[in-house]
C-alpha cells in the first residue's frame, strides 16, 4: 500500500479531532432539551389533572404526581448539562442563554401550572379575592424567577462589579435562591401529597392553599434577595470524592425507596440553609462590631 503523506495524516487526525469536539457540544444541549421536555410534560399533566379535580380526584392526583416527578427529573437534567459542559469544556454563550430559557419554562411556568391546578384553582372560586391574590402571587413568582435568571446571566458574563453594591461573582455560591430548588420544593410538596387540596374539604383546603400561597411569596423573595446559597459545584472534585460518591449513592437509594419523604427533606434543607447561613452570619458579625465599638 502506498504510504500517506505525513502532512495529510496530520490533517486527517485534526479533522477527526474537530469532528469529535463538535460532537461533544451536542451532549449538554441534549440534557437541556430533556429539561425542556420535562417542563412541557409537567404543564400538560397539570392541565390534565385540573380537568379531573372535581370528578375524579384520584386520577387528578396521579397526573399531579407525574408533573411533580417531571420537574424533579428536570432538575437532574439541568444539573447534568452544566457539569457535562464544564467537564468537556463545551460551554458556550448560546448554551447559557438556551439553558436559561429552558429554566423559565421548566422551573417557572411548570410549577405555576402545577400549584394552580393542585391548590389555588382547585380550592378557590374564580370570583373570590383569595383566587385573585393567589394568581397574583403565582405571577410574581414567575417574575422573580425570570429576574433571578437574568441577574445570574449578567453576573456570569460580567463577573466584575457593575454598580455600587453589586456583589462580585462567587463560583462557590449563588446570590439569591436559584429557581430550580424553588421549583423543586413546590414539586416535592405535591409529590409528598398529590391529592388536590379540594379533596380535604373546604376548611382544610383553604388553609393549606393559603399556606402554599405564603410559601410561593417567600420563595419569590428569596430568589431576588442577596442571600447566598451553595452552588454545590465543588462537590466530588476533591480528594474525598469517593466518600461523596458513596453518600450520593446512599441518598439515591433512599430516594428510590422513600422518594416522597427524602425529596421533601432535601428540598427544605437546601432552601432553608441559605437563610440559616445568613442569620448565623448576622449573629456572628454583631459581637465583632460591638468589640470594635468598645
Specify whether the CB–CB gap between 42 and 71 falls below 8 A.
Answer: yes
Q: What is the pTM of this model?
A: 0.82
Q: What are phi and psi of 166, to 5 degrees?
A: -75, 125
Check the CA dihedral 281-182-144-134 and report its sign: negative
Res. 1: pLDDT tops 60: no
Pick 176 or 68 by higher pLDDT: 68
DSSP per-residue string spanning 43-110 = HHHHHHHHHTTTT-HHHHHHHHHHHHHHHHHHHHHHHHHHHHHHHTT---HHHHHHHHHHHHIIIIIH
Q: How far apart are the first and last CA of the chain?
A: 89
C-alpha cell belonging to residue 169: 461573582
CA distance 234 to 237: 6
Looking at the DSSP assignment, which residues form a beta bridge with residue 228? 175
**pLDDT band (50, 70, 90) for residue 100:** confident
Res. 141: pLDDT tops 90: yes
Q: What is the mean pLDDT of residues 179-203?
A: 93
CA distance 182 to 267: 8
Which domains does the chain carry? 19-231+263-293 (1.20.120)
- What pLDDT is stored for residue 237 in this prediction? 52
**pLDDT band (50, 70, 90) for residue 20:** very low
- What pLDDT is stored for residue 234 in this prediction? 59
**pLDDT band (50, 70, 90) for residue 86:** low
- What pLDDT is stored for residue 83 in this prediction? 73
φ/ψ bin of 236: left (φ > 0), alpha (ψ from -120 to 50), beta (otherwise): left
Mean of per-residue pLDDT scores for the chain: 81
- What pLDDT is stored for residue 281 in this prediction? 83
Tell me which H or E stretch contains 122: helix 121-123
Reported residue count of the chain is: 294
Over residues 152-190, the pLDDT tens digits come to 877 766 654 444 455 455 567 788 899 999 999 999 999
Res. 24: pLDDT tops 80: no
**pLDDT band (50, 70, 90) for residue 47:** very high
CA distance 175 to 153: 12
Amino acid at each position: 500500500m502506498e504510504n500517506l503523506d505525513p502532512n495529510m495524516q496530520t490533517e486527517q487526525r485534526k479533522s477527526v479531532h474537530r469532528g469529535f469536539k463538535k460532537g461533544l457540544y451536542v451532549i449538554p444541549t441534549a440534557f437541556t432539551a430533556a429539561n425542556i421536555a420535562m417542563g412541557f410534560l409537567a404543564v400538560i399533566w397539570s392541565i390534565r389533572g385540573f380537568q379531573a379535580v372535581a370528578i375524579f380526584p384520584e386520577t387528578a392526583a396521579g397526573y399531579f404526581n407525574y408533573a411533580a416527578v417531571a420537574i424533579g427529573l428536570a432538575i437532574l437534567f439541568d444539573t447534568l448539562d452544566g457539569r457535562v459542559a464544564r467537564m468537556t469544556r463545551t460551554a458556550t454563550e448560546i448554551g447559557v442563554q438556551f439553558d436559561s430559557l429552558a429554566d423559565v419554562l421548566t422551573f417557572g411556568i411548570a410549577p405555576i401550572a402545577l400549584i394552580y391546578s393542585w391548590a389555588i384553582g382547585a380550592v378557590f372560586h374564580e370570583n373570590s379575592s383569595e383566587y385573585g391574590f393567589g394568581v397574583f402571587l403565582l405571577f410574581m413568582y414567575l417574575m422573580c424567577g425570570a429576574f433571578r435568571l437574568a441577574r445570574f446571566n449578567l453576573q456570569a458574563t460580567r463577573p466584575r462589579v457593575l454598580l455600587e453594591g453589586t456583589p462580585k461573582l462567587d463560583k462557590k455560591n449563588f446570590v439569591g435562591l436559584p429557581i430550580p430548588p424553588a421549583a423543586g420544593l413546590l414539586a416535592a410538596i405535591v409529590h409528598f401529597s398529590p391529592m388536590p387540596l379540594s379533596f380535604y374539604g373546604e376548611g382544610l383546603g383553604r388553609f393549606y392553599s393559603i399556606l402554599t400561597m405564603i410559601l410561593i411569596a417567600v420563595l419569590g423573595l428569596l430568589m431576588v434577595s442577596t442571600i447566598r446559597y451553595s452552588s454545590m459545584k465543588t462537590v466530588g472534585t476533591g480528594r474525598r470524592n469517593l466518600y461523596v460518591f458513596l453518600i450520593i449513592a446512599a441518598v439515591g437509594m433512599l430516594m428510590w425507596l422513600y422518594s416522597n419523604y427524602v425529596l421533601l427533606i432535601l428540598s427544605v434543607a437546601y432552601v432553608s440553609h441559605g437563610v440559616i447561613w445568613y442569620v448565623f452570619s448576622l449573629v456572628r458579625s454583631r459581637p465583632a462590631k460591638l468589640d470594635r465599638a468598645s
